[in-house]
Structure 1
Amino acid sequence: MTPPEITLGNHTSTHRTRGTTPQALNTEQTGRDIALLLLRLAVGLSLAGHGVQKLFGWFDGSGLDGTGQFFTSIGYPAGRTMAVVAGLSEALGGLGLALGLLTPLAGAAVVGTMINVVVVTRGDGFMAPEGVEYAVVLAVAAAAVCLAGPGRYAVDRLLPVLRTHRLSHGLAALALACVTAAAVLLTRT
């Protein structure tokens, strides 16, 4: 195999950087795609589980009534409505991340929800059992996927408009997450 040609102005040269054979680049890209898949699955399925706890009471969750009462106790005016919003954001955002489906929006749902968790529970400290570190990790991981894209092993690759990830999609989704989180936080009393 011949090295790739590089053209600068009127000068063309062949140059090969060590370790950049097509096979090496393909292996490197496959590794990144698998890493993104694992990250999406871990974060997405974990959040989807939390969402269905809130919505349906599955996995020893409180369901809408218990979660709604909790949201009311921490200052949200319509606790049950907030339970639905948080549950859907976690369940659908988590499933979207896991599948790599509408990934920037799924990531935005997760980031916005986790911003609320961090702001509301920050007084409990950073570390578990009541701290915010888990929410911070989930938010940062979802933001990373928003910015990096879902990788090759994602449903988005089947959708022509999302087949090629653009950083601008991820940045716009994260801006939407921040604005939405701020709007929700402003409803608290």
Structure 2
Amino acid sequence: MKQLFATNPASITPLIARLALGIVVFPHGAQKLLGWFGGSGFEGTMGFLTGSAGLPWIVGLLVILIEFFGPLMLFLGAATRVAALGILGNFIGIVLTAHSSTGFFMNWGAEANKEEGIEYFILLFGLALIVLIAGGGKASVDAELAKNRY
């Protein structure tokens, strides 16, 4: 348990990585849960994930919760490794089920089919792994918990 919150409270690198990861994932979660940024909201997203995508309802629910609450946890640096692991697992599933067949590039050119390749996800995985390894770093709840409890 001690290792879950262990982090270097002076390190800025995990702070940058967790904020960058949170910034790029939060809008996806807000679309899915709240309908912000042109999203379908909870009901629409659950309908898509359990209907068109064919996911079990519990997996659809986890996708929505991880993409919304994971970035909030990252912003605060609270249970940072748990959030990073959830985001990493979530997006590995997304790549394997929906994006790996498209290839590397985003393919958004005029003649393309507008499907996304895996280049964005490689960057996301890199940030998630940095956070998973380093923890919350500077200005994180984890650093305060580790300092005060251990």
Q: TM-score, normalised by structure 2?
A: 0.76
Say if 1:42 and 1:98, in contact at 8 Å, map to a contact too: no
| Map of 1:148 onto structure 2 | 134
The yes-or-no answer on 1:58 pairing with 2:36 is: yes
Say if 1:156 and 1:163, in contact at 8 Å, map to a contact too: no
| Map of 2:89 onto structure 1 | 112
Say if 1:157 and 1:163, in contact at 8 Å, map to a contact too: no
| Map of 1:73 onto structure 2 | 52
Q: Distance in 2 between matches of 1:162 and 1:135?
A: 36
The yes-or-no answer on 1:158 pairing with 2:135 is: no
Q: 2:71 aligns with which of 91, 94, 98?
A: 94
Residue 56 of structure 1, CA deviation: 1.2
Q: Distance in 2 between matches of 1:163 and 1:90?
A: 29
Q: Which structure has the higher relative contact order (CA within 8 Å, separation 6+)?
A: 2
Structure 1 unpaired stretches of 5+: 1-28, 165-189
Segment of structure 1 superposing worse, 41-50 or 52-61:
41-50
Q: 2:62 aligns with which of 40, 63, 85?
A: 85
Segment of structure 1 superposing worse, 119-128 or 50-59:
119-128
Structure 1 stretches of 4+ with a deviation exceeding 6 A read: 161-164
Q: Distance in 2 between matches of 1:161 and 1:89?
A: 27
Q: What SS is found at the alignment partner of 1:59?
A: helix
The CA RMSD measured in Å over matched residues stands at: 2.3
Structure 2 unpaired stretches of 5+: 1-8, 109-115
Larger Rg over CA atoms: 1
Deviations 1:104-128 (A, max 9, x none): 1011111111111110121122221
Q: Distance in 2 between matches of 1:68 and 1:75?
A: 10
| Map of 2:111 onto structure 1 | none
Instruction: Count residues in correspondence.
Output: 132
Amino acid at match of 1:160: A
Q: 1:131 aligns with which of 117, 128, 131?
A: 117
Q: TM-score, normalised by structure 1?
A: 0.62
